[in-house]
Amino acid sequence: MLDHDLIRRTLSIALHTGGELAEIFVEDKASSNAIFDDGKVENLSSGRDRGAGIRVIVGDTTGFAHTADLSEAGLAEAAEAAGAAARSGGGGVQEIALTRQDAPRPNDIAILPEEVAKARKVALLRRADEAARGAGSAITQVTARYGDSRRRILVANSDGLLTEDDQVRTLFTVMAVASADTGMQTGYQSLGRTIGFELFDSYDVEDLAREAADRALLKLAARPAPSGTMPVVIGPGGGGVLFHEACGHGLEADLVAKGASVFAGRIGERVADPRITLVDDGTMAEEWGALAIDDEGSLASRNVLIEDGILTDYMWDLLRSRKEGRPRSGNGRRQSYKHLPMVRMTNTYVLAGPDDPAQIVADTPTGVYVAHLGGGQVNTATGDFVFGMTEAYLIEDGKITEPIREGNLIGNGPAVLASIDAVGDDFAMGSPGMCGKDGQGVPVGDGIPTMRVPALTIGGTA
């Protein structure tokens, strides 16, 4: 992506007034999106973002500058700015020898986005619209969206690291609106993988569209959600966001180090039932958070965070792992070259447990069954978290009965984690997610088997 001598010269400039580490992150991202809305292909758009972020670390201070100008002069100016921002008053010339490191990719790409005719991308959209509208006459509006991106990155630093990745993502989403005398309801479904257009050889957009439409139709007849605290059974796949919010963010080393996590100082302690093993895994082939290297050049890896209920590790970025003198975990990520990296999740999931999912429901006299969750949010300092249920039912006499309307659930991460009393043997990954932290969004995946939380608060009205 960039000449190696130019990289070396740029890193030298960044360090010429002193500093312990200089890093250059180069990104070249091409993306395309097509939107079908209101019965027609609304438009096709494409974009190109290319630039470099340069940071210099001096003690506990990071200086950062970025530029869209990848010429020698443009890079030198950004390197000067980053160095000046971090200036320690030291200085001197530093020779940098770069050693290229190849990273194993989580999966191969068969069909790159740029090799696919635009007409083929657009054709998927109409098929989705027709399938969603065919699901029922109450479907009154459909929005289908196709998106792909190819993000090539290069990371080099003054420790001699030089590595690259070529990240491809393909996404398809459908939102349907169903209308009746009772008002309007929406249903949403999405599919995303870190592969190219071959995604559509394995998945039918019609299936996705029907799932979105069925979800909207189901809710037309839904009862108001109950209000208060009760047992909640979460279905396989749909509920991974529970762990992402309930404990994932709290295990990010930057928050832990600042005392902003309820999980600080708890390594080695029992935090959950022995049936719970939680993993963050950037190497999981094709899943939405998969990568070969993180945005600091560390190899993606499979990290066990909770093993048989015992808290075993946090997630780390370059700054925190250097400070603590421990290996990096491949969790240093950034939204783009314009952002500083921080600790982020990749694919976060709970391994399958021993219990029969049908029995878990049968053993729950009354409660709520959540088949599909929307997003969530956590206050890592208190551990309180919310997440939205986008498809949920009442459990009455051990049976899943009537659908209920949308709403948030609220709970406390450590308390919920410690209380989970059933873990199914039916693991599934969920829908592609976009995780936000301090204003930066990165793609993440999650997954869980069926599980039961004995007491969660349902934010309904009934």
Partner 1 sequence: MPLDHPELLAVAVRIAEMAGAGEQVEAYVARSTSTSVKAYGGEVESLTQASSAGVGVRVIVDHREGFAYAGTLDEGAVLEALAEARDNARFGEPDEFNALAEPDGVAVADLDLWPAGLEHVATADKVAMALELERATTGRDARVSAVRVAMFADARGEGAVATSTGIRAWGRAGSCHLAVQALAVHDGETQIAAGLSVGREVSDLSVDEAASDAILRATRLLGSTKPATQRLTLVLEPRMTATILSLVGGMLNGEAVLKGRSPFAGRVGEAISSPLLTFVDDPTDPQSLGAETHDGEGLACRRNELVVHGVLQGFLQNSYTGRRSGTASTGSAQRGVASTPGVGAVALAVAPGSGTHEDVLGTVEHGLFVTSMAGLHSGVNPVSGDFSVGVEGLMVKGGELAEPIREATVASTLQRLLLDISAVGADLEWLPDGTGGVTLVIPDIALSGT
- 323 contacts partner 1 (rule: CB under 8 A): no
Binders of partner 1 in range 264-303 (CB under 8 A):
none
User: Which of 62, 157, 163, 431 touches partner 1 (CB under 8 A)?
Assistant: 62
- 338 contacts partner 1 (rule: CB under 8 A): yes
Q: Does residue 452 sit in helix, strand or coil?
A: strand
User: Which of 17, 23, 25, 63 touches partner 1 (CB under 8 A)?
Assistant: 63
- 34 contacts partner 1 (rule: CB under 8 A): yes
- 4 contacts partner 1 (rule: CB under 8 A): no
Q: Which residues contact 439 (CB under 8 A, 6 or more apart)?
A: none
User: Which of 179, 301, 312, 335 touches partner 1 (CB under 8 A)?
Assistant: 179
Task: Classify residue 267 as exposed, middle or buried by CB count within 10 Å of its CB (0-12, 13-18, 19+).
Answer: middle
Q: What residues does 437 pair with on adjacent strands?
A: 440
CB of 139 to partner 1, least distance (A): 11
Among the residues of 67-160, which ranges form H helices?
A: 72-85, 118-134
CB of 326 to partner 1, least distance (A): 20
The span from the CA of 281 to the CA of 275, in Å, is 19
Cα end-to-end span (Å), the chain: 58
User: Is the CB of residue 102 less than 8 Å from the CB of residue 84?
Assistant: no
The span from the CA of 329 to the CA of 322, in Å, is 12
CB of 37 to partner 1, least distance (A): 7
User: Which of 45, 99, 202, 359 touches partner 1 (CB under 8 A)?
Assistant: 45
User: Is the CB of residue 370 less than 8 Å from the CB of residue 331?
Assistant: no
CB of 322 to partner 1, least distance (A): 15
With both helix axes pointing from N to C terminus, report the angle between 205-220 and 118-134 in degrees, rounded to the nearest 10: 30
User: Is the CB of residue 167 less than 8 Å from the CB of residue 291?
Assistant: yes
Give 118 or 326: the residue with its C-beta nearer to partner 1: 118
Binders of partner 1 in range 353-392 (CB under 8 A):
373-377, 379-382, 384-388
Question: Within 13 A of 350's CA, how many CA atoms are on the CB side?
Answer: 35
User: Which of 48, 137, 325, 397 touches partner 1 (CB under 8 A)?
Assistant: 48
- 340 contacts partner 1 (rule: CB under 8 A): yes
Give 347 or 380: the residue with its C-beta nearer to partner 1: 380
Give 59 or 104: the residue with its C-beta nearer to partner 1: 59
Binders of partner 1 in range 221-260 (CB under 8 A):
225, 227-229, 255, 258-260
User: Which of 26, 79, 106, 141 touches partner 1 (CB under 8 A)?
Assistant: 141
- 321 contacts partner 1 (rule: CB under 8 A): no
Cα–Cα nearest to 193, from 109, 91, 266: 109
Q: Which stretch binds partner 1 (CB under 8 A): 207-215, 345-353, 357-365, 405-413?
A: 405-413
Interstrand relation of 99-100 and 433-437 (parallel, antiparallel or unpaired): unpaired
Give 106 or 240: the residue with its C-beta nearer to partner 1: 240
- 81 contacts partner 1 (rule: CB under 8 A): yes
Report the Cα 122 to chain-centroid distance in Å: 26
CB of 312 to partner 1, least distance (A): 23
Binding mask of the shown chain, residues 149 to 178, with x at each position contacting partner 1 by CB under 8 A: ----------------------------x-
Give 69 or 313: the residue with its C-beta nearer to partner 1: 69
- 89 contacts partner 1 (rule: CB under 8 A): no
A 10 A CB-CB count for 171 gives 19
User: Which of 1, 2, 6, 44 touches partner 1 (CB under 8 A)?
Assistant: 44
Q: Which stretch binds partner 1 (CB under 8 A): 155-163, 202-210, 301-309, 452-460?
A: 452-460
A 10 A CB-CB count for 202 gives 10
User: Is the CB of residue 358 less than 8 Å from the CB of residue 364?
Assistant: no
Tokens 């190109």 correspond to 48
- Among left, alpha and beta (phi > 0; psi -120 to 50; other), residue 160 is left
Give 102 or 324: the residue with its C-beta nearer to partner 1: 324
- 411 contacts partner 1 (rule: CB under 8 A): yes
- The number of helix segments (H) and strand segments (E) in the chain equals 10, 23
